[in-house]
Each structure stands twice: as structure tokens, then as C-alpha cells.
Amino acid sequence: MNSPLAPGSRIAIAGASGLIGSALARSLAADGHEVVRIVRRAPRTKDEVRWDPRARRVDTAGLAGCAAVVNLAGAGIASRRWTEDYRREIRDSRVLGTAALAEAVASLDTPPRVLVNGSAIGIYGDTGDRAVDESAPPGEGFLPSVCVEWEGAAAAAREAGVRTVFARTGLVVARGGGAWGKLFPVFKAGLGGRMGDGRQYWSYISLHDEVAALRHLIDTESLSGPVNLTAPEPLTNAEVTAAMGRVLRRPTLFAVPASVLRAALGGMAGDVLGSQRVRPARLLDSGFVFAFPSIDAALRSALR
């Protein structure tokens, strides 16, 4: 059942300065909602609330009256090489931050009606040609283990009776950041091409649909637990490469060998070369309609 937020509802967002968080904040504000940004520094305006995720501290007074809390905070997966220190940062920024917010939400006299917590399709690991949905178990490796801990860190909110949804997001097609923020300039220069053998599946979603799906998770009272945020039909890297060439009208001749990617990207290369054929079963079953379900439409939306 969908129960949209009443006009002027307060929604708190951690990670509101990121690619997805900033787009979500704009969408909510445009519809007249009051967006509360959860920040690490001293608040500068009345719509900011301070937290210290490493110390698991949140100014709970600032969360009072929020109808929803959305946690999208976390160190960028593609921001740096995966040294041991940065692997720790990827994990801690997600697990400790989620625990802090979940505990803060659980402590409120009147908690929000929903906590939408970020997660990722990385939880499934490399699925090869096998299509998976939310019923699939976690895979093996660094990212699956991080995602399992990330989702588990929200236990305090769930135990307090707060509806808790895990937004398992795929590769977001956007010009301003994420994987495609790095791909667009390369392909526009005519230097793009498939990665490795190109047979690995990429499960993508347009930024527009990502934001719409997050709002759907907030509004749909029947949804809790994991929900995949990916377009209905994943494509292989070779198919995505061909679409980039079509939409940008550029050649896509420069295949990048797997060995080069591993040397350049280190541990992150597995995320690029691995195959994740993920379908959004629960999102579709709940009535969500994609505005840009095809890769061509998602690319054109990003370029607009």
C-alpha cells in the first residue's frame, strides 16, 4: 500500500551532498517537503543536524518530527584504489554510520515511520550469467561482506519496530558522478570500448529512476527488507558499450584488456569485470514504473 508523505513532511538525509542524495533532496524539496541534512561539521543552517558516524553519535533532537530517515552515506567505491586502509574506510563509513543512525532512530520517543538505508547489488557477488533477485543469498568476497555488515548494522531500528528498507542500488547512469561520470568523457572522446571480454552483466539504473525508486520505498508501507534498485533487464558490458556508441555517436573500438584493468584498478577491478545480472523483482511487484528502463533511454536522460 502506498501512503505518500503529507506535504511539508520532514525527511532527514545522510549523504545529502552525494550524487544520489543531492538529487533526492532536490526532488523532495521541489514537492514542498522539509529536507534535513545530516552533516559531520557544525550545522550552519536550521535544516542541518550534526553526526559523528565513527563515534556513533547523532544529534537526535534534530531528527524529532521526521517522517523518514534516508541513509546514503559512505566512502565512494570508485573514488580511490582499494588499499587496505581504503577498504577499511569503505566498510567503516557504511557500517558505523548505519549503526549510529539506527540507534538514534530507535531512541526517539516518536520514531520516523521508515528508515531507508543504502545498500548495493554488490551483496550478490559475481553471479555470472545467472539472474538473481532479492531472494538470492550473499556472494563471497569483500563487497558482499561489506553489504552484509552494512545491512546488519540497522538492527536497532528494525528491533524498535521502524520499517527498514535496504535500497540495493546498481550502477547509476548519471553524468555528474559514479561509474558513468568517469565513462562519459572517455566515450565522448571516442576512446571507449568494452572492458575485458565484455560478457559480464552490468545492472544499471538511471538517476531519475533511482530517485523515484527511493521515494517509492519511503511511500510504500508494504516494502521492508532488501529491494533491488536496478532497471528491469541487465545488459552485458558489450551491449552497454554499443549503446554508448549509438547515443554519443562515437566509435567504441578500444577494448580494455582485463589484465590492464587489474593493474590499474587493483581490488576494484573485480567490481568492473565481475558479472551481476540483477533484477528488481520486489520493486516491480510493488507497482513501480520505470521512466527510463532501457539503456539508451537512461543514457539520453543523463545527457539531458
Q: What is the pLDDT of residue 181?
A: 86
Q: What is the pLDDT of residue 129?
A: 95
Q: What is the pLDDT of residue 276?
A: 95
pLDDT digits (tens, 9 = 90+) for 49-61: 999 999 999 999 9
Could you give the count of Cα atoms lying within 13 Å of 21 in the half-sphere of its Cβ?
23
pTM of the model: 0.95
Check if the beta carbon of residue 160 is closer than 8 Å to that of residue 111. yes
Residues 246-260, mean pLDDT to the nearest whole number:
84
Check whether 265 has a pLDDT greater than 70. Answer: no
Residues 5-29, mean pLDDT to the nearest whole number:
95
DSSP strands (E only) in the chain: 10-14, 34-39, 48-52, 57-58, 66-71, 114-120, 131-132, 163-169, 171-173, 201-202, 204-206, 225-229, 235-236, 277-278
Q: What is the pLDDT of residue 191?
A: 86
277 strand-pairing partners: 131
212 strand-pairing partners: none
Confidence of residue 295 (pLDDT cuts 50, 70, 90): very high
Q: Which of 136-140, 178-182, 211-215 is the least confident region?
A: 178-182
Q: What is the pLDDT of residue 39?
A: 96
Residues 162-174, mean pLDDT to the nearest whole number:
97
pLDDT digits (tens, 9 = 90+) for 93-137: 999 999 999 999 999 999 999 999 999 999 999 999 999 999 999
Check if the beta carbon of residue 194 is closer than 8 Å to that of residue 136. no
Nearest CA to 254 out of 192, 209, 297 is that of 192
188/78: higher pLDDT: 188
36/81: higher pLDDT: 36
Residues 200-208, mean pLDDT to the nearest whole number:
96
Residue recorded with cell 587493483: 266
Q: Which of 28-42, 73-87, 91-105, 260-274 is the least confident region?
A: 260-274
78/242: higher pLDDT: 242
Give the domains, in start order, of the chain with CATH numbers: 10-303 (3.40.50.720)
